């Protein structure tokens, strides 16, 4: 463990904020609305975020500029401003030891630590079939999400919960928890604990993680759809599936499509996957029945 600046006692009045994606914007705005002085914001560098060649600022940078806050891309900039605490929300990089030695920092992490440390905790929880997740207010340490936990909130994951729903709920809960800690003082830090099966890492999601394996059970495909970005190929082109459900009947071999009474289903290794909303390559999202009316996919194969 590196030498770390001690956490402050009592209410928090001045903070530096480190964050990058859209899910970090609500906590930043809430801090400002609560009257906490956000003296500096650090975010990742501008990058190409669409098909154009122009660089675009991160969602946090856009919000910070709208709020009239000072914003930069260098973490070391926090060493030059007086503050009580650094607050990290999905910043996207480890904080170096020399910074932690001078600025006490806490982080909102969107899992029940030590489960799903790392880059994609929400997505990994859904793909693994976890029935519970949550958000932790934790001490920032030199390791990857290894610091002690100060507070946590939990939520249940059911068979219909999507990644978007989890993010929205955990951002709201985490923001509420963060504001309470700033107003009333930081809770006592408790070391993380859990066995080897529980304490796993949330590697970044890749396209292969979201490609549907039709030989796997339909329940696995549904979890991929709930994460967002699930895909397969049809007629040698990428085919996205935005909404689907497992059906407790086997209507065809794995990967084979059947259209019965306007309902589109695909065989899997266990049960069938009924397609509800799809997006063929080069087209807008549409209902599966509308797609089937034009594409006539009955008997064709997804790969």
Rg (CA), the chain: 22
Question: How many CB atoms lie under 10 A from the CB of residue 144?
Answer: 12
CA distance 273 to 290: 17
On whether both 168 and 226 belong to a single domain, the answer is no
Output 250 or 98, whichever has higher pLDDT. 98
Task: Report the half-sphere exposure of 301 (CA within 13 A, side-chain side).
Answer: 7
Question: For residue 196, what pLDDT is reported?
Answer: 81
Residues 164 and 265 in one domain: no
153 and 63 within one domain:
yes
Give pLDDT tens digits for 130-182. Answer: 999 999 999 999 999 999 999 999 999 999 999 999 999 999 999 999 999 99
The answer to whether residue 65 sits within a structural domain is yes
168, two tokens: 């929205």
Give the start-end residues of each E strand in 73-212: 85-89, 105-109, 117-118, 132-139, 149-156, 201-202
Cis peptide before 26 (omega within 30 of 0): no
- Of the three residues 202, 235, 254, the one that is the final residue of a domain is 202
Does residue 216 share a domain with residue 196? no
CA distances from residue 11 to 29, 170, 246 in whole angstroms, order as listed = 18, 23, 49
**Does 238 lie in the same domain as 255?**
yes
Mean per-residue pLDDT for 46-67?
A: 88
The domain in which residue 230 lies consists of: 207-295
The pLDDT tens digits of the residues spanning 221-240 come to: 999 999 999 999 999 999 99
Q: Give domain status of residue 167, yes or no.
A: yes
């Amino acid at each position: 463990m590196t030498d770390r600046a001690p956490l402050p006692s009592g209410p928090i009045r001045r903070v530096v904020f480190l964050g990058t994606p859209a899910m970090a914007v609500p906590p930043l705005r809430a801090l400002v609305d609560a009257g906490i002085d956000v003296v500096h914001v650090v975010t990742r560098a501008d990058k190409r975020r669409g098909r154009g060649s122009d660089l675009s600022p991160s969602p946090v940078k856009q919000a910070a500029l709208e709020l009239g806050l000072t914003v930069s891309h260098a973490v070391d900039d926090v060493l030059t401003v007086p503050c009580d605490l650094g607050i990290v929300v999905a910043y996207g990089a480890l904080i170096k030891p020399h910074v932690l030695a001078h600025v006490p920092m806490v982080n909102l992490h969107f899992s029940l630590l030590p489960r799903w440390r790392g880059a994609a905790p929400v997505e990994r929880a859904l793909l693994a079939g976890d029935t519970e997740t949550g958000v932790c207010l934790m001490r920032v340490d030199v390791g990857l999400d290894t610091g002690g936990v100060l507070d946590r909130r939990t939520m249940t994951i059911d068979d219909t919960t999507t990644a978007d729903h989890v993010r929205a709920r955990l951002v709201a809960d985490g923001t509420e928890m963060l504001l309470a800690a700033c107003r009333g003082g930081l809770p006592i830090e408790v070391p993380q604990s859990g066995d080897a099966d529980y304490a796993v890492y949330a590697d970044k999601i890749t396209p292969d993680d979201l490609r549907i394996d039709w030989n796997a059970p339909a329940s696995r495909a549904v979890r991929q759809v709930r994460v967002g970005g699930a895909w397969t190929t049809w007629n040698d082109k990428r085919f996205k599936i935005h909404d689907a459900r497992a059906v407790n009947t086997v209507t065809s071999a794995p990967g084979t499509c059947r259209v019965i009474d306007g309902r589109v289903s695909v065989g899997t290794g266990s049960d069938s996957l009924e397609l509800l909303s799809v997006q063929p390559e080069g087209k807008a999202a549409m209902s599966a029945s509308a797609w089937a009316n034009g594409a006539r996919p009955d008997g064709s194969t997804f790969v």
